[in-house]
Amino acid sequence: MIDLKNIHKIFNKGKANQVNAINGVDLLINEKEFLVIVGSNGSGKTTLLNLVAGSELPGKGNIHIDGHNVTKLRDYNRSQWIARVFQNPLSGTAPDLSILDNFRLAAIRTKSKGLSIGVDEKFKKQVKEKIETLGMGLENKTEQPMGTLSGGQRQALTLLMSVMDSCKVLLLDEPTAALDPRSAEVVMLTADKLVKDFKLTAILITHNLKDAYNYGNRIIQMGEGKIIKDLDQQKKSALKQNDLFDWFG
Amino acid sequence: MDFYLTALIQGLCFSAIALGIYISMKIFNIPDITTDGSYTLGGVVTAQFLTHHQPVYLVVPTVIAAGALAGALTGLIHTKLKINALLAGILVMTALYSVNLTLLGRSNIPLINTTSIFTLINIATDPNHNTFWILLVFVIIVTLLIGYLLKTDFGIAMRATGNSESMIRSLGVNTDRMKITGLALANALTALSGFLITQFQSFADINMGIGIVIVGLGSVIIAETLINWFKITSVWLSLVLVLSGAIIFQFVLAITLSIGVDANLLKLVTAVFVLLIVSLPRLSFKSSS
């Protein structure tokens, strides 16, 4: 589904503060794979995710998504395949827009944003039913601005928004880093359920080794812009939580 | 009475500029001061067309196109060349001064014995009343169009662009193109104010746009204060408040003049008044906490 070939990415090339963020990564992610990426700060995890999303373009190498060469496509052109949840709950939603308007934009992620009014009674009902599945009691607040909600609520809604339109790849960039433990659990369980229900290919970046252990069916560890460990489903299930801690020992 | 009617008419003329500034400043979060240039451009184009006896229905789309072009230029400089929006606006505004002067041919063109939008139809016998009613209909139509636009899918994407750029890009919107469109729309509206004022005062002047951005800014800030005050989220109500802001602003200026303040000090009064509205919410907040 996602094929990265010999990817290099250098920031501030030729300057004193040059950073070799990604140093030759080859990675093939199959359909319905739920890949977890761990690694210390500065290991290149987020850059790798940005390269897949298209918010960064690689200096060298090729990227294919669903058989299409997307190497030179920007993030807004890759949205036909990719939905994204950001580390900062503020980044994934528009705070001054109502929940309904946020969902409307998500519902036409892969389509053009035309000059017709899309928020009608039918759409409102559809959004309410979707939000009800979260069980957070938000279904009657759809007219409220997104900014009035807590970080956890916003992340959960962002997840839900990602499957409003056809979606093949879900990118999760430390979605729970800014949340309290309880909200974090709800968000991770929601993510896991959506990945399974909608048969998504997903990439999760996390610093939480418990989440890395509990979720996903493949795990890689990154360091200095390279993949240093790659465990498939079989090896991952054989892994013990303490082994993971040892990786960072 | 006529004095206040004039203030009301001016307020309505400036409501287009207020809507334009509302779009660039509040919706896109871009401080755009192409305004001074695009407002004059609207006036200049109007004066040239009308003195050459072109029909009003031709003038309106030309003025809109001219303003949009100016705004799109600022947008292009800001997004494609990654130049600070304020600087991009100043550059285009400065360049427009020469363009306007060339178009105008001299520093001032009076509109004598020409038709105007205000003489198209006679609803009332008093010319000022006639102007008021035609203006009211014009402004209502513009507001309805903008309000509708903001409610559409495109409009929601516009509002999200200024609010959460990372989100709207991940939802498939080219934010550069969106900002260029937004600035084009904002300056098209600004040019429409130039179009209205030129016909109302019956002349276009190369200096008519100097400091005009403050009129739009002041109107929007009055509206914003009210929006925050009443915690308004509705798009329609916000637009109505922006219109009211433009009218209130002109009334304050009219009252200032009527109590005998020297007309030379009007810009100073304007600046102080805008400063007051901006600082008022903060001052009152301080005392209550």
The domain spans of chain B are 2-273
Instruction: Summarize the confidence of residues A78-83 as an average pLDDT.
Output: 93
Q: Is the pLDDT of residue B284 over 70?
A: no
Instruction: Summarize the confidence of residues A177-195 as an average pLDDT.
Output: 91
Minimum distance, in Å, between the CA of residue A50 and any CA atom of chain B = 11
Cα→Cα distances B1→A33, A164, B4, B199, B259, Å = 75, 57, 5, 21, 15
Complex-level ipTM: 0.88
pLDDT per residue as tens digits for the range B60-85: 999 999 999 999 999 999 999 999 99
Average pLDDT, chain A: 92
Q: Is the pLDDT of residue B43 over 60?
A: yes
Can you name the residues that pair with A219 across neighbouring β-strands?
A36, A231
- Does B173 contact chain A (CB < 8 Å)? yes
Q: How many CB atoms are closer than 10 A to CB A51?
A: 23
| Residues of chain A contacting residue B170, judged by C-beta atoms under 8 Å apart | 53, 75-76, 79, 82-84, 86, 92
Judge: A98–B233 Cβ closer than 8 Å, yes or no: yes
Burial (CB count within 10 angstroms: exposed 0-12, middle 13-18, buried 19+), residue B125: exposed
Instruction: Summarize the confidence of residues A32-44 as an average pLDDT.
Output: 92
Phi, psi of A177 (to 5 degrees): -60, -30
Minimum distance, in Å, between the CA of residue B94 and any CA atom of chain A = 34
Judge: B173–A114 Cβ closer than 8 Å, yes or no: no
- Does B271 contact chain A (CB < 8 Å)? no
pLDDT per residue as tens digits for the range B79-102: 999 999 999 999 999 999 999 999
Q: Which residue has the tokens 């601005």?
A: A145
Residue of B28, B170, B234 to mutate, interface with A, max A Cβ within 10 Å: B170
Share of chain A above pLDDT 90, in %: 73
The per-residue pLDDT for A53 is 94
- Does A10 contact chain B (CB < 8 Å)? no
Query: Are B35 and B209 contacting, i.e. CB atoms less than 8 angstroms apart?
Result: yes
Q: pLDDT band at B1, cuts 50/70/90?
A: low
pTM metric for this prediction: 0.91
Share of chain A above pLDDT 70, in %: 100
Between A217-226, B179-188, B237-246, B277-286, the lowest mean confidence (pLDDT) is in: B277-286
The per-residue pLDDT for B289 is 43
pLDDT per residue as tens digits for the range A107-146: 999 988 989 998 999 999 999 999 998 888 899 999 999 9
CA atoms within 13 A on the CB side of B211: 7
The per-residue pLDDT for B175 is 95
Q: Is the pLDDT of residue A187 over 60?
A: yes
Can you name the residues that pair with A25 across neighbouring β-strands?
A7
* Residue A67 CA to its chain's centroid (Å): 20
Q: Is the pLDDT of residue B283 over 80?
A: no
The per-residue pLDDT for A237 is 86
The per-residue pLDDT for B143 is 97
Which B residues in the span 131-150 are in contact with A, Cβ-Cβ below 8 Å? 148-149
| Residues of chain A contacting residue B157, judged by C-beta atoms under 8 Å apart | 105, 113
Which residue in chain B has the smallest CA separation from A167?
B171
pLDDT per residue as tens digits for the range A4-16: 999 999 999 989 8
Q: How many CB atoms are closer than 10 A to CB B148?
A: 14
The per-residue pLDDT for B286 is 52
Q: How many CB atoms are closer than 10 A to CB B195?
A: 34
The per-residue pLDDT for B120 is 86
The per-residue pLDDT for A178 is 85
The per-residue pLDDT for B264 is 87
The per-residue pLDDT for B251 is 93
**Cα–Cα distance for residue pair B42/B32, rounded to 1 Å:** 17
Please name the CATH architecture into which domain B2-273 falls.
Orthogonal Bundle (1.10)
* No. of helices (H) and no. of strands (E), chain B: 11, 2
**Cα–Cα distance for residue pair B158/B186, rounded to 1 Å:** 12
**Cα–Cα distance for residue pair B163/B178, rounded to 1 Å:** 13
Which residue in chain B has the smallest CA separation from A110?
B172
Q: Three-state SS for A39? A: strand
Cα→Cα distances B15→A23, A154, B190, B239, Å = 56, 36, 9, 10
pLDDT per residue as tens digits for the range B192-229: 999 999 999 999 999 999 989 999 999 999 999 889 88
The per-residue pLDDT for A226 is 92
- CB-nearest partner of A94 from B151, B153, B160: B160
Q: At what angle do helices B213-229 and B2-21 cross, to 10 degrees?
A: 80
